[in-house]
Chains A and B, each alone.
Chain A
Amino acid sequence: MSLTAARLDRISPSQTIAISQKARALAAEGRDIISLSAGEPDFDTPQNVKRAAIAAIERGETKYTDVSGTRALREAVCAKFRRENGIEYAPDEVMVSTGGKQVIFNAMLATLDPGDEVIIPTPCWVSYPDIVSLAEGTPVFVACPQNNGFKLRAEDLEAAITPRTKWFILNNPCNPTGAAYSADDLKPLTDVLLRHPHVWVFTDDIYEHLAYDGFKPATVVQVEPRLKERTLTMNGCSKAYAMTGWRIGFCGGPKALIKAMDKLQSQSTSNTSSISQAAAVEALTGPQDFIAEMVAVYQERRDLVVAALNECPGIVCGKPEGAFYVFASIHGCLGKTSAGGRRIETDEDFVTALLEEEGVAAVHGTAFVAPGHMRISYATATEALREACARIKRFCEGLH
């Protein structure tokens, strides 16, 4: 009898984690490693949020809560959706989970039967296809070309829809490309979706607040209220409030779907930590100045990284609207040999050689279903970014 279930064989081990582990191992050996591979803010959780958590502990809020989250947090989530997205959800149309990841897990496991298809624009965060596979669905990838700013084209979405399509997942702004959709960008996509009433929309807006140069990412229900009855709007506290370790994700959607997801969560984890929920209430309802300050810093770093990378021979890097990643093409570096004598045939060869020879950790595009690229996270101190870009340039100049 085999140890593991067949569903587990469909999941690829995380390639992001492999490179992080290698970087940690090199750092442990005493090498000077700059990691640009992590998908988390380098900012600290705001003080008012930490204090709210401590106050909750003092009040004895250390017991089970409703599976879908405390009333206070669900109301704060409703207020957030109303205030920032112009969407009205009732408290029983929202739920709180252990990170945005569990929202996706709940939604896919609650709805997918074997063979159901889920459309995922690429490059993509690899957990989408993995969770779909875990739920025995079939991921259907649609490429978003670099020459379209890595944005999905309406005709490509239209062509990917079949009678078996159950979900369309949109990540806006996108990890790993940073591409973001305004209301005008979304309209052609929502027009396609209106023509296919059997398709559900999962919109992952976790990077919503991280957009630059005044760009305003929009969300599907805001642009097309007629899709509200088949859209799950996901968000969370990790990126906006630098709260990755607290594990708070949430979503709004039709009551029947939320109820099914609630049932599922009641059997897999129950409520998310009561203390983290209290912290999230403060994050969502307290002062929001923290976000603007953080965004200003990210914007400066993005500009720095894009400019520096475009000076590296063989690298082409567009300037994305949001998130804290750039997704650079390294096609011009392939087929060459590094100064250390490593043959660079693939993007994985590239990031491995870059890590070994220059001590810079980035993630190869293949990990996001987009070979020939690398993802660089600029959620790192500005000085370290400057140094890392100098090293990448030296590395590229050494290719022959």
Chain B
Amino acid sequence: MPALAARLADVAVSASVTMTVRARALRAAGHRVISLAIGEPDFDTPPHAVEAAHQAARAGDTHYPPQDGTPALKEAIRRKFARDNGLDYALDEIMVANGGKQIIANAFLATLDAGDEVVIPAPYWISYADQAKFAGGVPRFVACPQNNGFRLRAEDLEAAITPRTKWVVLNSPNNPSGAALGEGELCAIAEVIRRHPDLWVLSDDIYEHLIYDGFRFVTLAQVAPDLRERVLTVNGCSKAYAMTGWRVGFCGGPRALIRAMVNVQGQLTSGVCTVAQAAAAAALDGPQELVRQHAETYRRRRDLVVAMLNEAPGIACHRPEGAFYVYPSVAGLIGRTTPAGRRLETDLDVAMALLEEAHVAVVHGAAYGMSPYLRISYATDEDSLREACARIAAFCAALS
């Protein structure tokens, strides 16, 4: 075995994957495990997207696609950005990749030199930090405290920017906290960005459509058109259309950046599966009613989970604006002991004990850069959610 490259040493295996693997093992051993660990809709892909995929496969649309996406899908993306976000991107300012994840990998590999800094508000999806490190960059985290609804404050962002900062990552609605930024907050952030003309902003809007109680989603390039030349607007089909397995992400951004990213993708994977691209175009152009129905279902589940978790002694759960996660504090559980004798020193201890003793899989907050919390995904049917929350409450009540 040759030594692995230094760039890989710092890259972690995703914690949600680790929890999912352990949950699978317990299930295989005959336990009834409820998994609230995974970030994936439990709905099915819309029928018109499925039909478009059938047609593409049958019609022989199975040859190499262009590196940056099929013209049909890029047109659909252009319409999506205009319709949903008031953004006008030309076709050569748009690209398609294997999931939103590859958009980020392309962007960082195309732009980061060793030591360049990437500002990431915490709690955060771990892949931002790992991808930055993998590309030779240095993540700089900015805490978004619970008492501000886990939202990024402009002054904290300002304090984190240095002459080495190359990117600022925004993720609204946020994984794992569900926090979403309103127009006023984004305008304040835009003010900070304006003062630093040498940095780029990656706005990951993948949870855009999962937003509740009439909250209005906006994205940075929309509220600050003057920053358009420095903003990469990232989105995809996974969350809005329950298309995680198809692997279609996309972005709009300045032409020179897109060109560099296409160059990276040309060496990494080439274009995206043609059949999946046909499905994605149909999802974007087709009826959007399902998206609204799903959002309503998620809202009910969120309300259920927040209410039930706040009944559990030692847990304090904020009610977030969007996504399908809640991020409850478990500070009240730290230092306690489970009936099986496990001492809870960290949120990882809490998550492991919950899995082993209550058979509920969640992810610990340390995996998202803010402790002591848990990330709970409510992209699961209501009966399972109710049962899982009851188990969590019983687990908490039994601590000594």
- Residues of chain A touching chain B, judged by Cβ–Cβ distance below 8 Å, are 1, 3-8, 11, 13-14, 17, 38, 40, 44-45, 50, 53-54, 57-58, 60-65, 67, 97-99, 101-102, 105, 109-113, 127, 130-131, 134-135, 166, 198, 200, 229-230, 242-247, 254, 256-257, 260, 263-264, 266-276
> Which of B126-134, B147-155, B206-214 binds A?
B126-134
Whether A271 and B113, one on each chain, are in contact in the complex, defined by CB atoms closer than 8 angstroms, is: no
Whether B273 and A3, one on each chain, are in contact in the complex, defined by CB atoms closer than 8 angstroms, is: no
Whether A63 and B269, one on each chain, are in contact in the complex, defined by CB atoms closer than 8 angstroms, is: no
Decide if B57 is an interface residue (CB 8 Å cutoff).
Answer: yes
Chain B residues numbered 1-16 whose CB sits less than 8 Å from any CB in chain A = 1-8, 11, 13-14
Whether B62 and A246, one on each chain, are in contact in the complex, defined by CB atoms closer than 8 angstroms, is: yes
Chain B residues numbered 73-103 whose CB sits less than 8 Å from any CB in chain A = 97-99, 101-102
Whether A266 and B17, one on each chain, are in contact in the complex, defined by CB atoms closer than 8 angstroms, is: yes
Take A64-B244, A270-B247, A273-B247 as given contacts and tell me if A127 and B267 are in contact as well, using a CB distance cutoff of 8 Å: yes
Bound Cα distance from A355 to B136, whole angstroms: 42
Whether B273 and A275, one on each chain, are in contact in the complex, defined by CB atoms closer than 8 angstroms, is: yes
Closest chain B CB from A237 CB (angstroms):
11
Whether B272 and A247, one on each chain, are in contact in the complex, defined by CB atoms closer than 8 angstroms, is: yes
User: What are 20 inter-chain pairs, A to B, with CB distance below 8 A?
Assistant: A54-B57, A65-B245, A98-B272, A109-B8, A109-B134, A112-B5, A130-B267, A243-B62, A244-B64, A245-B61, A246-B62, A246-B273, A260-B8, A263-B11, A264-B134, A268-B102, A269-B102, A276-B273, A276-B275, A276-B276
| Closest A residue by C-beta to B200 | A3
Take A11-B263, A57-B45 as given contacts and tell me if A273 and B131 are in contact as well, using a CB distance cutoff of 8 Å: no
Most buried by B among A67, A229, A269: A269
Count residues of chain B with CB under 8 A from any CB of chain A: 70
Contact with A along B248-283 (1 / 0, CB 8 A): 000000001100100110111111111110000000
Whether A247 and B244, one on each chain, are in contact in the complex, defined by CB atoms closer than 8 angstroms, is: no
Decide if B63 is an interface residue (CB 8 Å cutoff).
Answer: yes
Whether B101 and A270, one on each chain, are in contact in the complex, defined by CB atoms closer than 8 angstroms, is: yes
Bound Cα distance from A151 to B170, whole angstroms: 52
Whether A111 and B60, one on each chain, are in contact in the complex, defined by CB atoms closer than 8 angstroms, is: no
Pick from A8, A17, A62, A102: contact of B245, CB under 8 Å = A62
Bound Cα distance from A274 to B243, whole angstroms: 10
Whether A269 and B264, one on each chain, are in contact in the complex, defined by CB atoms closer than 8 angstroms, is: no
Chain B residues numbered 313-358 whose CB sits less than 8 Å from any CB in chain A = none
Pick from A45, A65, A98, A256: contact of B269, CB under 8 Å = A98
Decide if B198 is an interface residue (CB 8 Å cutoff).
Answer: yes
Whether B63 and A62, one on each chain, are in contact in the complex, defined by CB atoms closer than 8 angstroms, is: no
Closest chain A CB from B334 CB (angstroms):
30
Residue numbers in A under 8 Å from B61 (CB-CB): 245
Residue numbers in A under 8 Å from B143 (CB-CB): none
| Closest A residue by C-beta to B106 | A268
Whether A272 and B135, one on each chain, are in contact in the complex, defined by CB atoms closer than 8 angstroms, is: no
Whether A5 and B135, one on each chain, are in contact in the complex, defined by CB atoms closer than 8 angstroms, is: yes
Residue numbers in B under 8 Å from A54 (CB-CB): 53-54, 57-58
Whether A247 and B2, one on each chain, are in contact in the complex, defined by CB atoms closer than 8 angstroms, is: no
Closest chain A CB from B117 CB (angstroms):
12
Closest chain B CB from A230 CB (angstroms):
7
Pick from A44, A64, A256, A273: contact of B276, CB under 8 Å = A273
Whether A11 and B2, one on each chain, are in contact in the complex, defined by CB atoms closer than 8 angstroms, is: no
Residue numbers in B under 8 Å from A110 (CB-CB): 4-5, 8
Whether B4 and A275, one on each chain, are in contact in the complex, defined by CB atoms closer than 8 angstroms, is: no
Closest chain B CB from A41 CB (angstroms):
8
